[in-house]
A and B are shown apart, each in its own frame.
Chain A
Amino acid sequence: AQSVTQLDSQVPVFEEAPVELRCNYSSSVSVYLFWYVQYPNQGLQLLLKYLSGSTLVESINGFEAEFNKSQTSFHLRKPSVHISDTAEYFCASMNTGFQKLVFGTGTRLLVSP
């Protein structure tokens, strides 16, 4: 069975500090991996995805995530966060054979000045 684990329910950081949001996945088959972001009172938006190829993927707003097959991880990082990055971040996996997306429980990133 497919599952995604986000161990940190909330991560408070100061503005301009680096941050890492952890994600581990479990699957018996190959998967695609995603990070979605949800700003307050909005739906989810795709932040970045790993399908194949380079294990390091980047978003347009400075986030990056690295696929690590041996550790079954897909952690999200940003070297310097902004107040506007305050949101809930969801890691998700999708079986490459079928488009059913399974989400983790989410990590709330709180950026303070």
Chain B
Amino acid sequence: NAGVTQTPKFRILKIGQSMTLQCTQDMNHNYMYWYRQDPGMGLKLIYYSVGAGITDKGEVPNGYNVSRSTTEDFPLRLELAAPSQTSVYFCASSSPQNEKLFFGSGTQLSVL
């Protein structure tokens, strides 16, 4: 069972570059989330989606964009990378029938 798959696992960007973090799940979950994890700060919600075509901002959305064209995929876009976006990014999914979130293994991003 693949679960939630994130790519890439590691990436280094230069300031001002753009990139897309990919996330896909094979559990037919309606809900999907993007979190960032910084030392001593826990996980902060960036964006979330309750279904295909529906997205909404979380706690720290500035500098990011998302789309949800299919149930399976929920990519996170960084348009102009900044050092403040250096973090570990986690994608997660869940279903309305179960409060448990399933997490991907994370993407470690450094912006230099």
Contact = CB atoms under 8 A, between A and B. Distances in A.
Interface of A: 6, 9, 32, 34, 36, 42-46, 49, 51, 90, 94, 99-106
B51 to A, nearest CB: 12
Max chain A C-beta neighbours (<10 A), residue from B43, B45, B48, B58: B43
Q: Report whether over half of chain B's contact residues are helix, strand or loop; otherwise say mixed.
A: strand
Given A43-B105, A44-B103, A103 B43 contact: yes
Given A43-B90, A90-B42, A90-B43, A101 B105 contact: no
Contacts of B92: 44
Contact of B45 (A45, A49, A51, A101): A101
A100 B45 CA distance: 9
Interface string B15-58: 00000000000000001010100001111110010100000001
Contacts of B80: none
